[in-house]
Chain A
């Protein structure tokens, strides 16, 4: 079945450091790919998405590019802030009304 694998955390960075969180997927067909963020005590919020190969999703300084050849959707940010501390989930949805398939999440801690 479809699956998402993302790098294990926790990831600890200093403020203004560069962030990469790796995400790879296995899926039949042509899934849409998503990054969600979960702040402490809250539900998941959609951070960005890409629906086809070579699409780049971006939001709040975060970016991820849909790479079909490497089945990857790595999350990047050039300069992280303390307020970016959260758990980040990579997810895919294959087609139609199929449910989201999530990775296990990567906890990011940014220290001042």
Chain B
């Protein structure tokens, strides 16, 4: 049973470009969470999605950031017009529908904005 997969593992973007981060949850998991880890900081919650629904986006910046989890395919975290402050590790976690507290984390995508 493959774990949570994220790609790319490393992403370099110039200021103003778009970044797309992908997350494939574990088989059978229908809940996806995105977290951001800034240097020397803990993980901060960004958004919680179920298939085709955003359940909680209270941690998402109001502008430039969006997330989706379509019926088919991976969850996508999209950052438009990236700035240097977006440089961070972005982690995705998934959980089974009946046990949302059992979050399994992917290896993360390290975004560097130059």
Residues of B within 8 A of A (CB): 4, 6, 31, 33, 35, 40-45, 48, 55-56, 59, 91, 93, 100-108
Pairwise interchain contact A103-B42, C-beta atoms closer than 8 A: yes
CB distance from B61 to the nearest CB of A (A): 16
A-B contact count (CB 8 A): 52
Contact of A102 with B42 in the complex, beta carbons under 8 Å: yes
A99 CB contact (under 8 Å) in B33, B102, B107: B33
Contacts of B35 in A (CB 8 A): 100, 102
CB distance from A55 to the nearest CB of B (A): 14
In the complex, A29→B60 CA distance in Å? Answer: 25
Binds B, one of A11-19, A38-46, A67-75: A38-46
The B-contacting residues of A in range 41-58, CB under 8 angstroms, are 41-46, 49
How many Å lie between the Cα of A32 and that of B41 in the bound state? 21
Evaluate contact between B43 and A44: CB separation under 8 angstroms. Answer: yes
**Chain A residues proximal to chain B, CB less than 8 Å:** 4, 32, 36, 41-46, 49, 89, 93, 96-105
Shortest 6 CB-CB distances between A and B: which pairs? A102-B42, A99-B45, A43-B105, A44-B105, A104-B42, A43-B107
Could you say which residues of chain B place their CB within 8 Å of the CB of A45?
Answer: 105
Contact B42 A89 (CB under 8 A): yes
Bound together, the chains give a CA A97 to CA B47 distance in angstroms of 12
Q: Which of B48, B104, B105 contacts A97 (CB 8 A)?
A: B48
Contact for B4 among A43, A102, A105, CB less than 8 A: A43
Query: What is the bound-complex CA distance between A105 and B38, given in angstroms?
Result: 12
* Contact residue among A32, A44, A46, A101 (Cβ-Cβ distance under 8 Å from B45): A101
